[in-house]
Structure 1
Amino acid sequence: MIILALIASSILIAGIVSYVDISEAAVIYDPLSRSIVGVVYGPAYFIKAPWQGVKIVYLRVETVDMFKNPPRDYPEVQAITRDGATVYIDITVRYQVQRNDEAIKILVTRYPLLDFEESVIVPIVRETVRNVIARYKLTEVIERREKVRGVIVQEVEARLREDPTVKGCLQIIDVAVRNIDFPEAIKRAIELKLAAQQEALAAEYKRQKLLIEANASAAARILEAEGEARAQIIRALAQANATLIQAEAQRRAIALIIQAYNRSDYAIIYYYIAALERIGEKGNLVIIVPQGQSVPLMMPLTPLKGEEHKTSP
């Protein structure tokens, strides 16, 4: 009898004393009265009546992954664009049940199986994503992908926060669109288009480069011509200045001759001799001015014609 009493006591205690772990909430409900008796947050031991039941609600951050490829919680979202093309969206939602007695009681009352993730979160995400994609054509989704991504995140968050069945019970931490993918045929077309654009950019770059090089070469030739023209002008000015200086020197020399001898014909002789000197610099010519005469004699140093082959005896 004692053993039976001990066994009965153990069973009774096991049915009365329970434990709830960290980041969990134990919701004690009475099936007879169909009411929630209380909420206990872990880690903690608690006592309940043997006929009462317990539902464990997780309070940690939960992640819902809807991906095309595993690992995943649910398949990706398939959506149809305004022009009938199919796109595939990978999306992640992170949420957390509010640590609040009233919020937890409402959540358990409305979703006794605690299936609010499958019943609310996933359907809202899928419906919202499809509604957003349906507003755009395929080309718009491709070209304005970041904008479409932002609209999806904004509207999914708003729908989840405002849903009347979970409003105030769930905290939506963030929504992230991981990828927007397309069928293989569309991806190949996009790759071909991008390749064509790259080739066009390369051709334009080459054309611009050749144009720049041609302009640079033309500019260099223009600068070279301008430099040569300026050099010629400088040389001409220098030569003109030298001629002026030389003329001024000759003028002063003539003035000194006239002043020294008081005879202007000496100036003419001076010019004559100077001219002969210049002639003599270019050939074998000796200039002789006999004493007492004003006309000089010019004696060539080269042999006369017919005498260059004569030899001395």
Structure 2
Amino acid sequence: MTQEGDIGDQDAIGGEAWAEATLRRLAEAGDSALDILDGALALAAFDAPTERLAGYRDHIARMERDLAAAAGEADDAELRLAALNHVLFGLHGYAGDADTYDDLQNANMIRVIDRRKGLPVALGILMLHLARSQGWEMHGLDFPGHFLLRLDAPGERLIVDPFHGGVALDAPALRALLKATSGAGAELEAAHYETISDRDVLIRLQNNIKLRLIQARRVEEALNIVDSMLMLAPDRISLWREAGLMNAHIGKTRTAIDAFETYIAKETRSEPRREAEALVGELREKLN
């Protein structure tokens, strides 16, 4: 049974044209704060096109209302986090997918909402959106191996793990997590508490899909992910190099040359430029 605010049949909106326009609009904002959930839905639309985007928006709006009711006038970081966790993981049943962690659906926001489970960064984007809907300050962290969030309130700061029910992590727990993901010799540094831009959060989301597709040797599908990332972040020069390599791999020589030439125009380091110029030379020979 479909409840009020849950995903149901709605008027058809969205689609790939909407997704591309949304990503290009968000790209113009650079590294400023974005409508991060809109970006995640747009990225998802390329792999899971939907005619029910209005239904997903209704579901999100329902969670926003639930959070406002649960939080009340809370100005304490712990109370705010408790309200967030109650709504997202309690009332609406979201959870980290530990059983099928590498399932590509776990990084596609449409499928995450459908299934109520996902990767740390996908659940983190939902938490970011909900927190900001209440005017709270929350950001993604530049933490290796496992996506975390930072919730700030006057005089307080909590580090949050969205994959494990939104638990707040203290320094010993963070150190243990870092060693588990980066090796026994890794130690906490100030940089691990630094925030990243919303675009970087979305790129991290897409990297999860891209890397799994590459590992499965599904290069053409991985290239589609890179293309969507370039709509959002055309200034990220490493993506142009990846696009060149992948297009070359699948035999799209002219497209590969174009991507490499864009990369060369943006790259300031001499050695990577020379390497790319050599690749362009080899590709041009194939066209002759």
TM-score, reference length from structure 2: 0.21
By percentage of residues, which structure has more strand? 1
By percentage of residues, which structure has more helix? 2
Greater gyration radius: 1
Asked which structure has the greater RCO (Cα within 8 Å, sep 6+), the reply is: 2
